[in-house]
Amino acid sequence: MTPILDAIHSPADVKRLSLGELNELAEEIRGELITVLARTGGHLGPNLGVVELTIAMHYVFDTPTDHFLFDVSHQAYVHKLLTGRRERFATIRTAGGLNGFMLRTESEHDSYGAGHAGTALSAALGMAVARDKLGGKEHVVALAGDAAFTCGITYEALNNISSQTRRLIIILNDNKWSIDKNVGAIASYFNKIVTSPQYHRLYERAAKLVEKVGGESAARVARKAEEAAKSMLWPSVIFEEFGLKYYGPADGHDIASLIRTFQFLKTLERPVLLHVITQKGRGFEPAEERQKKFHGLGPYDPETGETKALTQRTYSEVFGDSLAKLASGNSRVVGITAAMPNGTGLDRFRLMHPDKYYDVGIAEEHAVLFAAGMATKGFRPFCAIYSTFLQRGFDQIVHDVCLQKLPVVFCMDRGSLSGDDGPTHHGLFDISYLRGIPNIVHMNPKDEDELADMLYTAMLHDGPSAVRYPRGIGMGAAVKAQPEAIAIGKAELLEHTGNDRVAIFSLGSMLPLAREIAGALAAEGVAAAVINARFAKPLDGAMIEKYGRSAEVLLTLEDHALAGGFGSAVLEELNRLGLHTPVVRVGWPDQFIEHGKPGELREKYGLSVRAAMERLRQYISLRVQERTAASYL
Ligand SMILES: Cc1ncc(C[n+]2csc(CCOP(=O)(O)OP(=O)(O)O)c2C)c(N)n1
């Protein structure tokens, strides 16, 4: 039963509620989150942590006139529930349903889309400056988690804010957690503030004063008291050095006090940062106890929080185990993650090699540079970064790693459609953004065993390399006890007859589709070679030439954008060879792909046997007709 939530159709309905009703609303929202996400999966923990915060924000501010930006925006579900999307909430992260992140096209209340971390402060500043230029009065409020303060761009924004605008509200939502425990100096610094009894007393005193007297004069007194004490306690409060007024730490679950604080912050004519303490997973015991697991997960039991155990190892797990094995035999191997130890499987490596494991925070650019530095001293750094997040490190890959030919290995998990998360998380561009860079080797394993071989190959290779593999479980292939090196740039011919009219060049995980297509062609009497291409760079030029000369048509398959992808690389090679063999390229079209089940999306966008056969038929039947016509003459 959710009588209060049922009556919320827009933020205006939130403003009509009494404090008691607001607190009940918070509980109803918690229930809704727990039951809906049990079916769809999603970011349960982060959203349970911001229920009161989001309610108070909507109580005080007026979206869409005012603008809310959520960093990453994985914690925007409560905002969705309060902004007219309650009826569709059960569709979240399902095909055709609500997206799991803020989306400008989804609602006028989503003023800024996101999915990657660290963007909120810069974008909020841009909005605030645009508002100032246009003479607007609206408020811009950015909410960012403590882990967003491990991102370099957050500091680039902080460096700019006070010189650019006088009105911007930043909420630091501090729950001590990134996905794993938050790391680094800033995490310790926040912890110091939060655990300081003096600070707490100070904030409470200031809050009481604001409550009692209200308005600007109280604020002035409070500010004075705070400033005096702050400078006694700390040499400086970091945000104040950046020119932002710091308030906090505040209880992020106390709606009444949050409302009062926001009402006060609204009146200020200077950029402010409110430090709010919340508990990730609040109100659902399993999530309170296992913060990491409940950050984001698939369907679970709404009573116990139990999830179905996978029967097979994921690619991430195979990666973590294989790297751990390599590190056992090579003291120079190190593993680097940008705040994703569990997502990448590097947590398994951490267990065995804690001294060779580095979590640098959500700092992909830094991770790449850090790896480059280690490589100059003879180490073999393996940077485990999802394909989508490695986009952040592009310049460092070009300018630092590839230009200097440093042996850094990029292990790109989610090099595929990401599925439920949608366009911010699909890893469909890494071939395009990497293959134009000189010196890099780009590998794509067909199964788990080949992933282990490619990691081994990368370790032995004296230069930069990247290995790309998909999300989730693999093919179920057994991994050999000892990996074997693969010759760089050599494809693997898996099926051939000597009289193949079609040559299927399959990249990575597309192999089952390649075999199915070969089977469908065989059923029509057309022989096809199946090639496991393995490398998007360097290509196996000899294999392409052989079939470019002998087959009637080449078919390329990739779980990647067609623009600049593997098929494009094959076309370039044919062009270099002066061959005009037709090429049918199967991959993702030149548009951002929405969220949904990978199988359904593949069907929709033509990454299927049916679509490939239809397109091949044009060339094969054409040749047959040509021959028939010729034989009449
Ligand atoms: C550039 C980038 N790298 C990694 C991620 C993966 N990621 C999603 S949420 C998250 C942790 C966010 O922690 P925090 O901002 O403190 O918010 P919380 O979930 O604790 O509320 C990470 C690392 C990402 N979204 N973007």
| Active site (annotated) includes residue 364 | yes
Q: Check residue 193 and give its pLDDT.
A: 83
| Helix, strand, coil percent content, the chain, rounded in steps of 5 | 50, 15, 40
Query: Which pLDDT tens digit goes with each residue over 76-89?
Result: 999 999 999 999 99
Reading the block at residue 146, the tokens are 């403590």
| Active site (annotated) includes residue 176 | no
| 410 C-beta closer than 6 A to ligand 1 | no
| 74 C-beta closer than 6 A to ligand 1 | yes
Average of per-residue pLDDT values in the chain: 93
- pLDDT band at 217, cuts 50/70/90? low
* Residues 6 or more apart in contact with residue 496 via CB below 8 angstroms: 529, 530
Catalytic residue among 245, 260, 392, 471: 392
- Residue 235 pLDDT > 80, yes or no? no
Query: Which pLDDT tens digit goes with each residue over 467-515?
Result: 999 999 999 999 999 999 999 999 999 999 999 999 999 999 999 999 9
| 46 C-beta closer than 6 A to ligand 1 | yes
Pick the more confident residue, 625 or 386.
386
Helix (H, G, I), strand (E, B) or coil at 247: strand
Q: Check residue 311 and give its pLDDT.
A: 86
Query: Which pLDDT tens digit goes with each residue over 335-383?
Result: 999 999 999 999 999 999 999 999 999 999 999 999 999 999 999 999 9
In this prediction, residues 582-595 reach a mean pLDDT of: 98
| 177 C-beta closer than 6 A to ligand 1 | yes
145 CA to centre of ligand 1 in angstroms: 8
| 435 C-beta closer than 6 A to ligand 1 | no
67-70 and 140-145 beta bridge pairing: parallel
pTM here? 0.93
- Residue 215 pLDDT > 70, yes or no? no
- Residue 204 pLDDT > 80, yes or no? no
- Residue 226 pLDDT > 90, yes or no? no
Distances (CA, A) of 606 to 366, 522, 584, 612, 615: 38, 20, 12, 7, 10
Catalytic residue among 138, 364, 450, 558: 364
Amino acid at 207: A
- Ligand 1 atom closest to residue 118's alpha carbon, by position in its atom list: 1
Q: Check residue 626 and give its pLDDT.
A: 52
- pLDDT band at 219, cuts 50/70/90? low
Q: HSE (CB half, 13 Å, CA atoms) of 472?
A: 11
Q: Check residue 248 and give its pLDDT.
A: 87
- pLDDT band at 194, cuts 50/70/90? confident
Amino acid at 506: S
Distance CA 341, CA 456 (A): 20
Catalytic residue among 245, 280, 350, 534: 280
Q: What percent of the chain has pLDDT over 70?
A: 92
DSSP-derived letter for residue 42 is: B
| 337 C-beta closer than 6 A to ligand 1 | no
| Active site (annotated) includes residue 24 | no
Let me know the angle formed at the C-alpha of 37 by 35 and 43, rounded to the nearest 5 degrees. 135
| 147 C-beta closer than 6 A to ligand 1 | yes
- Residue 520 pLDDT > 80, yes or no? yes
- Ligand 1 atom closest to residue 425's alpha carbon, by position in its atom list: 25
Reading the block at residue 293, the tokens are 């697991």
- Ligand 1 atom closest to residue 117's alpha carbon, by position in its atom list: 26
Query: Closest Cα to atom 21, ligand 1: which residue?
Result: 46
- Ligand 1 atom closest to residue 74's alpha carbon, by position in its atom list: 9
Query: To the nearest 10°, the Cα dihedral for 142, 146, 148, 151?
Result: 140
- Residue 629 pLDDT > 80, yes or no? no
Distance CA 109, CA 68 (A): 8
DSSP-derived letter for residue 89 is: G
Nearest by Cα to 379 from 324, 334, 313, 431: 334
Query: Which pLDDT tens digit goes with each residue over 249-295?
Result: 999 999 999 999 999 999 999 999 999 999 999 999 999 999 999 99
| 397 C-beta closer than 6 A to ligand 1 | no
CB 177 within 8 A of CB 206: no
476 CA to centre of ligand 1 in angstroms: 30
- Residue 231 pLDDT > 80, yes or no? no
Q: How many CB atoms lie within 10 A of CB 416?
A: 25
Query: Which pLDDT tens digit goes with each residue over 19-35?
Result: 999 999 999 999 999 99
83 CA to centre of ligand 1 in angstroms: 23
Q: Check residue 536 and give its pLDDT.
A: 98
Q: Check residue 627 and give its pLDDT.
A: 45
| 154 C-beta closer than 6 A to ligand 1 | no
CB 196 within 8 A of CB 277: no
Query: Which pLDDT tens digit goes with each residue over 423-475?
Result: 999 999 999 999 999 999 999 999 999 999 999 999 999 999 999 999 999 99
Query: Which pLDDT tens digit goes with each residue over 291-317?
Result: 999 999 999 999 999 999 888 999 999
